[in-house]
Amino acid sequence: MRVGDKPAEGAFVFFVPVNEPADQADSRPRAQVGADGKFQLSMYGDKDGAPAGEYVVTVLWEGDGGFDKLKGQFRDASKSKLRATVKEGDNELPPFRLN
């Protein structure tokens, strides 16, 4: 995950199932972006991935004082234009570019 030419190190990524039931928000796959701009999703355990399916991707990248460096652009699943498809087995998604 990159913003311009720099990794979005420290950003939090959440995969929200496209047809998520309202009571399932706590079981979303999530990750924190590393220094290299990459992330590995965890759902129930450490880096255990995400179930196969279609997702809206949300991102929160907090800066000094707790403000979102991305200005809320990707925080809300109803507004984020980022999408991902997870298939059975190992997946390597193309990089997300947050400009």
* pLDDT value of position 80: 93
Residue 44 structural domain: 2-85
pLDDT tens track for 25-78: 667 899 999 999 999 999 988 888 999 999 999 999 998 888 899 999 999 998
Q: Give domain status of residue 68, yes or no.
A: yes
Quote the DSSP letter at residue 66.
G
Model confidence, pTM = 0.88
**What does the radius of gyration of the chain's CA atoms come to, in whole angstroms?**
13
Residue 46, pLDDT score: 87
Phi/psi class of residue 42: alpha, beta or left (left: φ > 0; alpha: ψ in -120 to 50)? beta
- Provide the pairing of β-strand 53-60 with 12-17: antiparallel
Count the domains in the chain.
1
Q: Is residue 96 part of a domain?
A: no
Q: What was the pLDDT predicted at 20?
A: 74
